[in-house]
Amino acid sequence: MAKGEETRERIVRHALQLSSTEGLEGLSIGGLATDLGLSKSGLFAHFGSKEELQLAVLKLVAERFEREVLLPAFRAPRGEPRIRRVFDRWMDWMNDAAQGGCPFVAASFELDDKVDSRPRGYLVTAQRLLLQSLARAAQIAKEEGHFHADLDPEQFAFEMDGVMLSYSHWKRLLRDPKAEVRARQAFERLLAASRRMVNQTAS
Amino acid sequence: MAKGEETRERIVRHALQLSSTEGLEGLSIGGLATDLGLSKSGLFAHFGSKEELQLAVLKLVAERFEREVLLPAFRAPRGEPRIRRVFDRWMDWMNDAAQGGCPFVAASFELDDKVDSRPRGYLVTAQRLLLQSLARAAQIAKEEGHFHADLDPEQFAFEMDGVMLSYSHWKRLLRDPKAEVRARQAFERLLAASRRMVNQTAS
DNA sequence: CTTTTAAACGAACGGTCGTACTATTCATAC
DNA sequence: GTATGAATAGTACGACCGTTCGTTTAAAAG
C-alpha cells in the first residue's frame, strides 16, 4: 500500500533531522507528531516502539550515505582518484547533513555504551561496512601502484576516519573556521605517506 | 562547611560515572539520588538546576584531565619526549575513565549543537585549552629541533586529536581489538612526518 | 456501490522528569 | 547544652514520556 509508506517516510526524514541536534534518544514521539501535524498514536503505529523508529532513522542514514558518498565515489577511476573522491564526497556529506553534522558520528558516540540495543547493533554493522569499503579502496590503490606495497588498508581507513572525526570536532564543537583547511591538509599528509614509505611499527 | 562539600563531591563523582554511559542529558536527579541513598530534593539542593550539575561534572573532568594527563606529561623533557608522554597518558585516560570512555569525547558530540548552553560553553573552553596545550608542546618540539621548522603546531594538535577520536570510535563502538595498535601506529606516523618534511599544502 | 482493510485519531495509562516549596534533622559554634 | 544555620527529607506540581486501546476516518478492493 502506498499512503502509509509515504507518511512513514515523511516521519523518518523529519526524525533524522531532529536526531541530528537532539540525538537518537532525544527524539520524542509526541514532538515529532506535533511537528508533522499527526497524532501521537497515529505516528507511533508506524513503528510500534521508539527503538524501531531509531532503527528506521539509522537505516535511512546508511542508505543516504551509500547513495551520496560511496556509490558516486566508486564510479571514479580505481586507485588514488577514487580515494580522493571518497574524501570529497564525505566532506560534502559532513557539511550537509541538515546543519546537524553527520548522524553516524553523533550516533556513534551516543550508542557506544548501549550494549545489546538493536540500533547499536545496526550502527556497528553499517559503520564496519563503510570502513571496509574504504579499506577496499585503499587496497585497490595498492594494486594500481598508487599506494606503497606495505600499506595496511585498514590502517588507512582508521586514519582517514580520524581526519573526519577531528574535522567534526573542530568545526562543530570548537567552531574553528580553519577546520576544513586542517582536515584537507591532514588528508593530503595521509595520502603522501601512503604513496611513499609507510608503516614503521610502533614501539 | 565540610559536610555539604563532601556530599557534593560524592554526587559529582557518581554523576560523572553515570554520564559516561548515559550522557550528560541522560543524567537524572532522581536516579542519582536513589543510587546514593539521598532524597531527590536533598541532592537537588546542592546544585539548583540540572544544568549546574552537568557543569560540575564537566569541571571535574577538566580537573582530572589536567591532573592525570597534562601535568604529568609536562614534567617530561621538552620536545618529542613530552609529546610522547602526552600521548601515553592520554591513551591511559581513554582506557580508564570508568569503562565509559573519555567524558570529553562523549560530551563533545552530545553538546555540539546545543548553542548557548552553559555546559557547552565550558566544554569548548576546556577543549580549546587542552588542544592549545598540545599545540604548545609541539611548538616546543620545534624549538628543540625535534620537529621540522615548517610544522604547524595547531595542525599537529588537530591530527593527534583525530588519532584519539578514531581510537575511541574503533574501540568503543566497533570493539575492534586492534584499535590500540592502530592508534599507536597512527601516532608514530604522525611523529615521523613531524620530524621530517611536512606541510605540503592541499590542492 | 459496498465491503474490507489500512491509517490516523483521541483519550488514558503508569512513569519519570526537573523543579518549588516547607519541614525536619543534623553538625557546628557559642 | 542550647542556639544557629546548613544539610537533607518530604511532598507536591505540571509537563512530558512511551505505550495501549477502542474508535473513526480514509483508502483500496471487490
Q: Which of B93, B193, B186, B82 is nearest to B138 (CA)?
A: B82
Is residue B76 pLDDT above 60, yes or no? yes
pLDDT tens by residue, B99-139: 688 999 999 999 999 999 999 999 999 999 999 999 999 99
Distance in angstroms: CA B8, C1' C27: 16
* Contact between A169 and B170 using a beta-carbon 8 Å cutoff: no
Rounded Cα distance between A161 and A167, Å, is 10
Residue nearest to nucleotide C5 (CA to C1'): A1
Q: What is the pLDDT of residue A197?
A: 61
Confirm if A29 and A53 have CB atoms less than 8 A apart.
Answer: yes
pLDDT tens by residue, B8-34: 999 999 999 999 899 999 999 999 999
Residues of B in contact with A126 (CB under 8 A): none
- Distance, in angstroms, between B193 CA and closest chain A CA? 8
Rounded Cα distance between B132 and B135, Å, is 5
Residues of B in contact with A161 (CB under 8 A): 166, 169-170
Confirm if A111 and A119 have CB atoms less than 8 A apart.
Answer: yes
Quickly state the pLDDT bin for A96 (edges 50, 70, 90). confident
Lowest mean pLDDT among A38-52, B86-100, B145-159: B86-100
Distance in angstroms: CA A146, C1' D14: 65
Inter-chain CB pairs, A–B, below 8 Å: 149
Q: What is the mean pLDDT of residues B192-197?
A: 85
Task: Check whether residue A31 has its CB closer than 7 Å to nucleic acid strand D.
Answer: yes
A98 touches chain B (CB under 8 A): no
Rounded Cα distance between B18 and B15, Å, is 5
Quickly state the pLDDT bin for A100 (edges 50, 70, 90). confident
- Nearest nucleotide relative to A4: CA against C1': C7
Is residue B73 pLDDT above 60, yes or no? yes
Which residues numbered 136-175 in A keep a CB inside 8 Å of some CB on B? 154-155, 158-159, 161-163, 165-166, 168-170, 172-175
Task: Check whether residue A39 has its CB closer than 7 Å to nucleic acid strand D.
Answer: no
- Please give the residue of chain A at the shortest CA–CA distance from B120: A173
B101 touches chain A (CB under 8 A): yes
Query: Residue-wise over A120-159: b if at least 16 C-beta within 10 A, else e?
Result: bebbbebbeebbebbbebbbbbbeeebbeeebbbbbbbbb
Is residue B4 pLDDT above 90, yes or no? no
Alpha helices in chain B (DSSP H): 3-22, 29-36, 40-44, 50-65, 71-73, 80-95, 103-111, 118-143, 153-168, 179-195
Q: Which of A13, A179, A113 is nearest to B26 (CA)?
A: A113
* Contact between A199 and B185 using a beta-carbon 8 Å cutoff: yes
* Contact between B172 and A20 using a beta-carbon 8 Å cutoff: no
Rounded Cα distance between A31 and A28, Å, is 5
pLDDT tens by residue, B81-92: 999 999 999 999
Q: What is the pLDDT of residue A198?
A: 46
Greater confidence, B55 or A203? B55
Quickly state the pLDDT bin for A14 (edges 50, 70, 90). very high
Q: Which domains does chain B have, with CATH numbers?
A: 58-195 (1.10.357.10)
Residues in chain A: 203
A49 touches chain B (CB under 8 A): no
Q: What is the pLDDT of residue A109?
A: 97
Is residue A201 pLDDT above 90, yes or no? no
Residues of B in contact with A124 (CB under 8 A): 173-175
What positions of strand D are covered by protein, i.e. any atom < 7 Å from a CB?
Answer: 6-12, 16-22, 27-29
Q: What is the pLDDT of residue B45?
A: 95
